[in-house]
Chains A and B, each alone.
Chain A
Amino acid sequence: MKIKDNVDVLVVGAGPAGSIAARVLAENNVDVLVLDKKQEIGTPKRCAEGIHSNVLDTVGLKPDPLWVVNETLGAIIYSPSEKKVEINFNDVGIGGYILERKIFEKHLAIDAITSGARYAIKTMALGVIKENGKITGVKAEHMGEEIKIRSKIVIAADGVDSKIAKSAGLNTTNRLEDYESGFQYEMAGLKNINFKYLHLFFGSEVAPIGYVWIFPKIKNTANVGVGILSSRSTPEKNAKYYLDKFIEDHPDIFEDASPIEINAGGVPVSSSIDTFVMDGLMVVGDAAQIVNPLHGGGIRLAMNSAKIAAEVSVNALKENDFSSSRLYEYERIWEETDGVRVKKLLKVRAFLEKLNDKDFERLADILGAKDIINLSNANYKFLFRLLLTKAPKLLPLAKKFLV
């Protein structure tokens, strides 16, 4: 198939961010081409596939049984000694979905193509074309053949291992203190867990500055994974080590289970890269390191950033202005919306990172389900009052990081 060599907008990456951008652009009659290096969109996955129901609302999607494989009723949080705190999503007015992400991503691409976007897969973008300081396209390789594609705007949606933003000259280095290293098995044959709940296990021996998750899918299967802070990882005690140990330590759940898939990946849990735009370039999703710094979930933020970037592109194209100052509108809108919450969540993360296992036990005693939801929504004012009466020892830490 011939790949177009000149388009209005070129999107690099057909993940959730790239395909949402493509759909929004195509719906506005913009000539858009999406490149992905994979030969099958969505595969392999790097994801635990858990989202809140509001994730879909953000980008105008309705849950579809083709790609929502389980609906979760809540989450159970386990302290280092496995004391449980149960959260019911119903009480806080949200729902939980588990995706079959490979199918989800394909459907996002199908929607975009149906709206008029074009895709080229097995096409690796090698770097941007830069002329007089402006980004005017990308160089790519499609099945061994080098090609050049020109565009008015490039949207870099190329995920955590982004090349595009780097090759354009943006600083995208992830600090190991802001980078989670993830490893996961999709497993079948689990038992003795509630398959309608997400399960999250904390503790310095379980996952240093991170957590182990069990996100149930169909029948007796689940994504069982771990994220640990990369700066705490060593070649011997890496993410895989912690997950294998967790599985060994829980024969009640895993003795009859086997993996049907191995997934791994890095999660950027910083507050995002310094700037998202250049003349002719916008960076979205994981490539811009826009991820929830508390739990590492990135699908909603990625899709929302892509939607904002696409909407700004539509207007920039009408005005024929692709300068960084015009495209900056995307960054400004993001900073004023999701950015505010992400910055607050970063503070919550900084606070939690300083706690030891004993502190976590104490928190498990005093925090209720609503409190945990509030914390995860970056509403932490209540915490000062609570700590003052129930755990005054932690108050100075909270003041240091949360004020």
Chain B
Amino acid sequence: MNVGIRNREAHASILKMRIDRKKCCYCGGCVGACPLNALELWETELVVDEDKCTDCGICVKCCPVGAIEAD
């Protein structure tokens, strides 16, 4: 099980959104709702592309289990 942030090395994380990998069910609901194509779901890995994400919060709203939080 793994939830990562792509490009973490290249950029200090400035995103407010965080994925709680202990809650995530890998359902892809957030991926389908992200307007910027910033999320990618592998089998048991949800990856956020920091370059694309604008912190719009849409994924926070549609996660059925509240696994995405924003400050």
- Spell out A's residues near B (CB within 8 Å): 37-39, 44, 46, 122, 124, 159-163, 166-167, 173-174, 176, 179, 181-183, 230-231, 233-236, 238-241, 262-266, 268
Contact = CB atoms under 8 A, between A and B. Distances in A.
A235 B60 contact: yes
A118 B69 CA distance: 41
A225 B32 CA distance: 20
Of all A-B residue pairs in the complex, the 6 with the closest CB atoms, nearest first, are A266-B29, A161-B28, A161-B31, A264-B27, A239-B64, A230-B62
Interface in B16-71: 25-33, 35, 37, 39-43, 58, 60-66, 68-69
Contact of B27 (A46, A166, A176): A46
Nearest to B28: A161
Contacts, number: 90
Given A239-B64, A240-B64, A265-B28, A230 B42 contact: no
Given A179-B62, A181-B63, A230 B28 contact: no
A55 to B, nearest CB: 23
A181 B66 contact: no
A121 B55 CA distance: 33
A174 B32 contact: yes
Contacts of B60: 235
B65 A264 contact: yes
A182 B25 CA distance: 12
B65 A266 contact: no
B35 A160 contact: no
Contacts of A183: 64-65
Nearest to A159: B28
Interface centre among B35, B39, B66 (most CB of A within 10 A): B66
B28 A266 contact: yes
20 contacts: A38-B43, A46-B28, A161-B28, A161-B29, A167-B37, A176-B61, A179-B32, A179-B33, A183-B64, A230-B33, A233-B61, A235-B63, A236-B66, A240-B64, A263-B25, A263-B27, A265-B28, A265-B29, A266-B27, A266-B64
B32 A181 contact: no
Contacts of A38: 43
